[in-house]
């Protein structure tokens, strides 16, 4: 270990920024803490407006050559990045588990393989990206996707590398250069990604990583006139600040924000399946934006559903996320734990009843919680908690279920449990959500559009939608028989 590196479970991680193909240290640092036990992992370079400007300048300088690089060569390099990720799945998994507390077995088996898949998918999609030419009064219309320019990508702490590469991969495939700003609570795998990308042959300046607090470097990135795209995943208040910052330059935004998604359980549903779906909402200690945190259960089966849910939830093991048998790990930070508990205590004071949980287990872990006797207009029903806290309400008619499901300011996702195909079609057509799952949860395909409605976001990414965002679309209209002969 040197002054600018640290060792995490035997893996060496550079703590400096990655700017213009080289490591850059800041004068000051911030402390990275493991949520597993509250121990200090190390000191990380704390970016300022100076490093932010340098990263954008590096991205701008690298853009012309990368934008002119052939699709085939860009795709080849992205596949090489995926190869590098796959070679280091174990390293990436243990570092990210230490840094953000998510389950090690999930990182090994699902999350890190998905990181590699992000690069492969968008590399392959790039090679088949096209729009069929069409005619207008004998003229030929040809649609093309032109690289837009330097892109600032601001990513969250709950699935750091997977969500970062969900943005990085299509931005690079599109021919853009990137400044990645990872969350300060989980910065380490972004640093490893910089190493992997460099080893894969990604040219200097095409990917830059700047660490630090959003309050200190965010505006310098999002208000910069040379930035042509901004993609952000996080909270609604931060999104508002980013939008205000970007407005001066009319910089296009993609915003994936919070959720307060419903799980609708009808009396005809397979209750065992419905309960399995419900308990799954505790995944990642409830730190999932798509989580169906509001159970809406038909009155006639509510008691039985609750009984089975309590029995199933009791089988979950909460503890050290590095252990193979653990189902629920810690929450990311003591500050987040305090926020979660404050939500729950206010709800209990207002008359809610904790069927299970309702309290901290210690300074790092919050007990899986289910609250009933909650009013539709209450804070606990309307606001995103982002922890292992669920609510249960009942309904008597399909119309009431839809009304309750749509009655928040969010619209990210919804989950529906029913055995009636016609009902599923009717209800899903009325739900305000970017993604609806019927008798399943968290089935994601990168070619599908992803994003939220209302306060859950702006825009859609995935498949061609990602290229639509990260590119400037151009339509070229060609007149018939207008060519000069060179014979």
| Dihedral sign of CA atoms 23, 25, 26, 28 in order | positive
SS3 262: strand
- Exactly one of 51, 96, 184, 289 is catalytic; which is it? 289
Cα gap 251→467, rounded to integer Å:
16
Residues 6+ apart with CB under 8 A from 388: 282, 285, 286, 328, 331, 340, 357, 366, 367, 368, 369
Residue in this structure with the two tokens 């972004």, named with its chain if needed = 190
Q: Is 440 an annotated catalytic residue?
A: no
- Exactly one of 51, 96, 256, 461 is catalytic; which is it? 256
| Dihedral sign of CA atoms 9, 161, 148, 252 in order | negative
Task: Identify whether the C-beta of residue 208 lies closer than 8 Å to the C-beta of residue 184.
Answer: no
Residues 6+ apart with CB under 8 A from 262: 292, 294, 295, 296, 404, 405, 414, 415
Task: Identify whether the C-beta of residue 31 lies closer than 8 Å to the C-beta of residue 223.
Answer: no
Q: Provide DSSP, 138-160.
A: TEEEEEEEEE---EEEE--SSSH
90 forms beta bridges with none
Of the candidates 101, 471, 473, the one whose C-alpha atom is nearest the C-alpha of residue 319 is 101
CB neighbour class for 331 (10 Å; exposed up to 12, middle 13-18, buried from 19) = buried
Q: Is 471 an annotated catalytic residue?
A: no
Active site residues: 256, 289
């Amino acid at each position: 270990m040197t002054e600018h590196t640290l060792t995490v479970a035997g893996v060496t991680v550079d703590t400096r920024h990655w700017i213009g193909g080289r490591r850059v240290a800041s004068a000051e640092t911030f402390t990275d803490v493991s949520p597993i036990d509250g121990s200090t992992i190390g000191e990380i370079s704390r970016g300022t407006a100076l490093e932010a400007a340098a990263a954008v300048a590096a991205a701008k300088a690298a853009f012309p050559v990368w934008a002119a690089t052939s699709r085939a060569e860009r795709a080849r390099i992205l596949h090489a990045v995926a190869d590098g990720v796959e070679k280091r799945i174990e390293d990436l998994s243990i570092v990210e588990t230490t840094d953000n507390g998510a389950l090690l077995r999930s990182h090994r088996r699902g999350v890190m393989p998905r990181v590699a898949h992000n690069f492969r998918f968008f590399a392959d999609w790039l090679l088949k990206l096209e729009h069929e030419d069409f005619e207008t009064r004998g003229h030929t219309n040809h649609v093309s996707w032109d690289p837009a320019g330097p892109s600032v990508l601001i990513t969250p702490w709950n699935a750091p590398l997977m969500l970062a590469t969900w943005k990085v991969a299509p931005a690079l495939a599109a021919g853009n250069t990137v400044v990645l700003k990872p969350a300060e609570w989980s910065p380490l795998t972004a640093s490893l990604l910089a190493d992997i990308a460099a080893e894969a042959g990604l040219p200097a300046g095409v990917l830059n990583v700047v660490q630090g607090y959003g309050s200190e470097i965010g505006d310098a990135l999002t208000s910069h006139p040379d930035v042509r795209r901004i993609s952000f995943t996080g909270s609604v208040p931060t999104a508002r600040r980013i939008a205000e910052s970007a407005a001066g330059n009319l910089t296009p935004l993609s915003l994936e924000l919070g959720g307060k998604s419903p799980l609708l359980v009808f009396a005809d549903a397979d209750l065992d399946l419905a309960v399995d779906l419900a308990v799954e909402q505790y995944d990642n200690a409830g730190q999932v934006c798509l989580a169906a945190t509001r159970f809406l259960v038909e009155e006639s089966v509510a008691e039985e559903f609750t009984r089975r849910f309590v029995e199933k939830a009791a089988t979950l093991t909460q503890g050290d996320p590095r252990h193979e048998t653990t189902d629920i790990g810690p929450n990311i930070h003591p500050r987040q734990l305090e926020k979660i508990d404050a939500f729950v205590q206010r709800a209990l004071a207002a008359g809610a009843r904790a069927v299970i949980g309702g309290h901290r287990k210690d300074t790092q872990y919050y007990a899986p919680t289910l609250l009933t006797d909650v009013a539709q207009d209450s804070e606990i029903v309307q606001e995103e908690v982002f922890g292992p806290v669920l609510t249960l309400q009942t309904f008597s008619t399909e119309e009431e279920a839809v009304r309750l499901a749509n009655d928040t300011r969010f619209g990210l996702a919804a989950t529906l449990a029913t055995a009636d195909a016609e009902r599923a079609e009717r209800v899903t057509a009325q739900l305000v959500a970017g993604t609806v799952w019927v008798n399943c949860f968290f089935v994601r395909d990168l070619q599908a559009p992803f994003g939220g409605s209302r306060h859950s976001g702006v825009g859609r990414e995935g498949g061609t939608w990602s290229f639509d965002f990260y590119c400037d679309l151009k339509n070229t209209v060609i007149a018939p028989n207008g060519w000069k002969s060179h014979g």
